[in-house]
Amino acid sequence: MSKIKVVHYINQFFAQIGGEEKADYPAEIRVGEVVGPGLALTQNFKDEAEIIATVICGDSYFNENLEKAKADILAMVKEQAPDVFIAGPAFNAGRYGVACGTIAAAVQEELGIPAVTGMYVENPGADMFKNDVYMISTKNSAAGMRDAVKKLAPLAVKLAKGEKIGSSAEEGYIPNGVRVNFFEKERGSKRAVKMLIKKLNDKPYVTEYPMPNFDRVEPNPAVKDLAHAKIALVTSGGIVPKGNPDHIESSSASHYGEYDITGVTDLTEETYETAHGGYDPVYANEDPDRVLPVDVLRDMEKEGVICGYHTLIDWDKTSSEKVTALIEVKVTPQRGLGFDMIAERIYNYPEVDCVYLISGGFDFMVMIEGKTMRGVAQFVSEKLSTQESVLSTATHFILKKYKDHGSVMVNPTKDERMLVTP
């Protein structure tokens, strides 16, 4: 009996071509080659399936050249005529998740080939495509690869065979909104009482009607006196003047735009738009104030509530003790993961304000705030330097700020020399 034929889609990172610097890698197909996660998938096919070709495409290239990339990949897949198409898994990589969901849905819809992918439930691609294709629920990083392929491979085989797919709890995919009627041995009242008794006794139970998960984010405390605060109006929603004059990329933007809104009282459909490619732009383009509330801002200015923009605190003039340090960190990149996993460990510390990947003799620039120099030193010695991947650090304390975020922090020096005129 011949094996099930699989075409596997991955990005430039898992193909070991490179990281962000290779995110513009165009779509290509490697026939007869098993790459990256494909090796783990093969082990879990249990000799029932084989990967006949691997499609590779950079995340930025796919999202910035969506129609071309999709058409090219569909043509590649069609030529191979596989029994099933697997994309990813993408874990919590947003652009990769959107690409996996997009191409898997397209292969299924336009070629009639069953498709499956996998990603973390909070990946934006999950919300966009979970109702279109079967999508294995994964952990939020590649550390969950082993668990992901154990579920991904058998589900792909089932789809290829046309076998009945069980519930999301049985198969491990993200619930897709499909409900199936079935008969239980006991009536609902008895089952409800049993669940209640288990709950009262702190015993595990499974609800028959799970509620959706909502993100609960506590807002920061309100600024008590806006009249004496400077407000910065910043958005990551991609709002730009009509026509995107600076050609800011829709994803993985390499630069930002700074636009004068002097005299602008309202962002209208005729004058502004969004350049963002990570969400549905329809509502933002209808009224850009929904993303960047300039209209509300102007109303608060008229009321005298807001008197300026960009909050910047000179801690030297307050009673609060603050020490800011810049720490250069040299690390050893992790095989297959690069710098991202190390950066994640660092930025998860609450003391850390900023983490940058930099060029030169060091790899990261870390900015932290502490109450004392001793506190900063303890953080470096006890938390940062003890990490396995960290080779060396260099700490620089900020002694005085002369200019910060475009604002001068000191009084200008006056020329006290006597002016002499003839």
Distance CA 13, CA 338 (A): 9
The beta strands (E) that lie in 254-351 are given as 272-274, 323-331
Distance CA 217, CA 74 (A): 40
Query: 325 pairs with which residues across the strands?
Result: 368, 397
Which of 111, 30, 103, 116 lies closest to 69, judged by CA? Answer: 103
Distance CA 152, CA 138 (A): 10
- pLDDT for 205: 85
Whether domain 315-404 has CATH 1.10.645.10: the reply is no
Helices within 338-412 (DSSP H only) = 340-347, 373-379
Which of 346, 350, 351 lies closest to 322, judged by CA? Answer: 351
- pLDDT for 311: 44
- pLDDT for 197: 93
Question: Are 171 and 155 within 8 A, CB to CB?
Answer: yes
Which of 22, 16, 18 lies closest to 39, judged by CA? Answer: 16
**Given CA atoms 364, 369, 373, 377 in this order, what sign does their dihedral have?**
negative
Q: Write down the architecture of domain 4-171 according to CATH.
A: 3-Layer(aba) Sandwich (3.40)
Distance CA 70, CA 7 (A): 15
Distance CA 103, CA 227 (A): 51
Q: What letter would DSSP give residue 173?
A: B
- pLDDT for 310: 47
3-state secondary structure of 321: coil
**Given CA atoms 27, 32, 38, 39 in this order, what sign does their dihedral have?**
negative
Host H or E run for residue 66: helix 66-80
Those residues of the chain that have pLDDT short of 70 are: 1, 212-215, 226-232, 252, 306-320, 336-337, 405-407, 412-422
Residues 6+ apart with CB under 8 A from 410: 400, 401, 402
3-state secondary structure of 270: coil
> Domain residue spans in the chain?
4-171, 218-311, 315-404
Distance CA 86, CA 84 (A): 7
Q: Is the pTM here over 0.75, yes or no? A: no
